[in-house]
Amino acid sequence: MPMTITEKIFARAAGKKTVEPGDLVNAKIDMIMCHDVTTPPAISMLKQHDIDRVFDREKIAVTPDHFQPAKDIKSAELHKRLDTWAREKGIRYYYPIGKAGVCHALLPEQGHIRPGEVIVGGDSHTCTYGAFAAFSTGIGSTDLAAAIATGQLWFRVPESMKFTLNGRLPVGVYSKDVVLEAIRRIGTDGALYKAIEYVGPALKDMSMEARMTITNMAIEAGGKNAIIGFDETTRRYLLGRLKGKQDYTVFESDPDAKYCFEDTIDCDKLEPLVAYPHLPSNGRPISECAGEAMDQCYIGSCTNGRIEDYRIAASVMKGKQVRIRTLIVPATPTVWRQANDEGLLNIFYDAGCVISAPTCGACLGGFMGVLAAGEKCVSTTNRNFVGRMGHPTSEVYLCNPATAAASAVEGKLADPRKHL
């Protein structure tokens, strides 16, 4: 029976030879991601049921990220509970304040993601790890508690969709534009509880960081997960990086695997896109929207807060001044240090930007750049829902790092190709 990558991973995790869409399977979990918002409620549930165990101390990675460093007393209490639990349970891979970072950038960077595995986390953007040919998806606090205690969860095997990415990305166009185009085509519920598989020659030129941007936003189309096949780029990224065991299993979709939907994106025909409020599917080519005034620029998040993104933004800002409030929020301490070592932070400082410690920050309206009533923010984040980054009347415009940087320089939505 032909199967997709996602189906093969589920078959392995459930101890079955084959599975098909719609099957209910009990799958063994290979890695769990825990952060400061959804994990404390899971800890409380375990205590309420007198469950005082974790299934494997080496298969759980813990980091505060949404409200770190603590922005108020409530967030400080969340950190305290997370810290106490991680230390009491002897969680091997615990990243406290100072080592902590945005979870979906931190776990791959620190070598916790392997191809062929089932990975879950108490955050909707856990789908990011599908860039490594793994199944990964977000879960709620109740399922998180069950996974922590038992190392297993049940799933309904999703149908698979396929996007073929042809051509090569032109100058000024990046993987963020690819995923915004995909979401623009199918809508925010077009992949509801489905696996989105990306294939095609355009992927060959994309780094793992670029691929993670694509899989990160599967949930913005309602997807259960997104997945990209293993290749030499994946292997090079993992080499010498993996924590614990060094082996992994690579699955490939069978040539005659079945997909419920297929589409092709000609990447060489794309231009930078901007997703207008209040849906990630409201993508517009920059040629149609350049010139709209902005109040703030935000470059960071689990979508575009990696070193590659800051190299891109710095190439636009170098020697220039920003005209609007601009926040640079590296996703992890490693990214912050590398940006500093490469002189990127100097470029941002000289341009008049605010440079933050690693955090999810204002992406979810937490802190470090929350918007006032009526303000407009051009942002490299993943969501632009009503009130997402602040006041309910504020607006968020999603784009790639070059577009964000060019818009910061001009003080309005701007075509990055004029600055590169």
Question: What does the pLDDT average to over 181-198?
Answer: 97
The predicted pLDDT at position 212 comes to 98
Q: Report pTM.
A: 0.96
Tell me the per-residue pLDDT of 36-88, one tens digit each, with 9 for 90 and over: 999 999 999 999 999 999 999 999 999 999 999 999 999 999 999 999 999 99
The H or E element containing residue 154 is: strand 152-156
Q: Which residue in the block uniquely carries the two structure tokens 């918007």? A: 371
The burial class, CB within 10 Å (0-12 / 13-18 / 19+), for 154 is: exposed
Contact partners, residue 367, CB within 8 Å, separation at least 6: 67, 71, 359, 361
The predicted pLDDT at position 418 comes to 95
Tell me the per-residue pLDDT of 384-396, one tens digit each, with 9 for 90 and over: 999 999 999 999 9
275 backbone dihedrals φ, ψ, rounded to 5°? -90, 115
The predicted pLDDT at position 1 comes to 87
The predicted pLDDT at position 132 comes to 98
* Ordered domains of the chain (ranges, CATH): 5-265 (3.30.499.10), 272-418 (3.30.499.10)
Tell me the per-residue pLDDT of 324-333, one tens digit each, with 9 for 90 and over: 999 999 999 9
Question: How many angstroms from the chain centroid is the CA of residue 346?
Answer: 26
Question: What does the pLDDT average to over 19-25?
Answer: 98
Question: Residue 401 and residue 16: Cα distance in Å, rounded?
Answer: 43
Q: Which residue in the block uniquely carries the two structure tokens 């940087």? A: 405
